[in-house]
């Protein structure tokens, strides 16, 4: 009896291997070769887009999309080599569509967000943006996510769905930006002298725009604070010069105040003690 069962099991295994072995091997070869071709097409498409001068913002998205579509077709083809008819596969796929759609709702939203970003172009590669609590330079826009590099060289991956459907600040969109300063002096210091010191520092900075209508530097007394008289200073610069002007002006104004004898007071309080007698 055991011998008969062993022969039956052996013959069954041989039949299964002869029936499915070739199909499984062909399906695996289809997947391996197809995925290799998909990646190769993505690289080739990227080179062709470079030759055509296509915007770097669009290129990663198109290459990724082309490779993904080819991989989907390869998977369908591999399933077909196993003997599953296309109509049966379509019926199965349709019946699973709702469940898959619900499970991948976030992914589909990110894909749609990526399309919107490429259509409306709120930013491009190289722009500095602020979104979802992160600030960084746009490194790449892929199908499902956008890559940012922070000033301290961290790589941030933000889902496209959230970028496209939430508030976003593009610091590079405009060619010029306004730099705001607040400089405090003591109540005993001369306001006109302090203003002159600030004007001299700003006038010596060639990155500050001074000759365009509506872009003249503004130096006014903005607040009589508890411990200081605060100057509000606003100047316009090219967007690329923003941080250089911001840091250098703070340092130079401090040194110029020290040289001119203008004080920058510490926060202080006057305490009056009354003696009852």
**Do the domain assignments include residue 13?**
yes
Answer whether residue 98 shows pLDDT above 50.
no
- 29-79 confidence digits (pLDDT tens): 888 888 888 888 878 877 777 776 666 666 677 777 777 778 877 777 777
* Cα 200 versus chain centre, distance: 39
Tell the residue number behind the tokens 């499902």, with chain if given: 144
> Looking at residue 103, what is its pLDDT?
46
86: pLDDT confidence band, cut at 50, 70 and 90? low
> Looking at residue 202, what is its pLDDT?
96
Burial of 31 from C-beta contacts in 10 A (0-12 / 13-18 / 19+) = middle
Sequence-separated contacts (24+) of 219-222 with Cβ below 8 Å: 219/195, 221/191, 222/182
Whether residue 230 sits in one domain with residue 161: no
Final residue of a structural domain among 138, 170, 202: 170
Structure tokens at 86: 């296309």
Helices (H) and strands (E) in the chain, counts: 9, 9
Whether residue 14 sits in one domain with residue 89: yes
What is the pTM (predicted TM-score) of this model? 0.61
**Do the domain assignments include residue 14?**
yes
**Do the domain assignments include residue 23?**
yes
Answer whether residue 149 shows pLDDT above 60.
yes
Domain total of the chain: 3
Report the DSSP beta bridge partners of residue 137. 128, 149
> Looking at residue 5, what is its pLDDT?
46
Whether the CB-CB separation of 182 and 233 falls below 8 Å is answered with yes
Picking from 128, 169, 133, 131, the residue whose alpha carbon sits closest to that of residue 151 is 128
Tell how strand 218-224 and strand 168-170 pair up. unpaired
Whether residue 67 sits in one domain with residue 19: yes
> At 45, which CATH number?
1.10.287
- 131-146 confidence digits (pLDDT tens): 999 999 999 888 888 9
* Integer Cα distance of 249 and 127 in angstroms: 24
Report the DSSP beta bridge partners of residue 157. 147
Which range marks the domain in which residue 84 is found?
2-95
> At 237, which CATH number?
3.30.70.100
Whether residue 70 sits in one domain with residue 22: yes
């Amino acid at each position: 009896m055991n011998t008969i069962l062993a022969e039956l099991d052996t013959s069954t295994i041989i039949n299964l291997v002869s029936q499915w072995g070739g199909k499984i091997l062909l399906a695996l070869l289809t997947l391996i070769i197809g995925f290799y071709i998909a990646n190769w097409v993505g690289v080739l498409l990227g080179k062709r887009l470079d030759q055509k001068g296509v915007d770097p913002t669009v290129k990663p998205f198109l290459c990724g999309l082309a490779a993904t579509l080819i991989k989907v077709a390869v998977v369908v083809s591999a399933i077909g080599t196993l003997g599953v008819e296309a109509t049966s596969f379509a019926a199965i796929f349709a019946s699973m569509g709702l469940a898959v759609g619900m499970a991948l709702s976030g992914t589909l939203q990110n894909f749609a967000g990526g399309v919107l970003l490429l259509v409306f172009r709120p930013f491009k590669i190289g722009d500095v943006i602020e979104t979802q609590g992160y600030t960084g330079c746009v490194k790449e826009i892929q199908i499902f996510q956008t890559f940012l590099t922070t000033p301290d060289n961290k790589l941030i991956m933000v889902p496209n769905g959230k970028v496209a459907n939430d508030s976003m600040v593009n610091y590079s969109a405009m060619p010029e930006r306004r730099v705001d300063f607040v400089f405090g002096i003591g109540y005993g210091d001369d306001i006109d002298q302090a203003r002159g010191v600030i004007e001299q520092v700003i006038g010596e900075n060639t990155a500050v725009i001074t000759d365009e209508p509506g872009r003249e530097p503004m130096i006014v007394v903005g607040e009589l604070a508890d411990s200081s008289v605060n100057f509000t200073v606003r100047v316009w610069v090219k967007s690329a010069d923003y941080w250089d002007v911001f840091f250098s002006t703070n340092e130079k104004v401090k040194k110029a105040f020290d040289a001119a004898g203008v004080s920058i007071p510490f926060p202080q309080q006057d305490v009056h003690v009354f003696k009852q007698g």
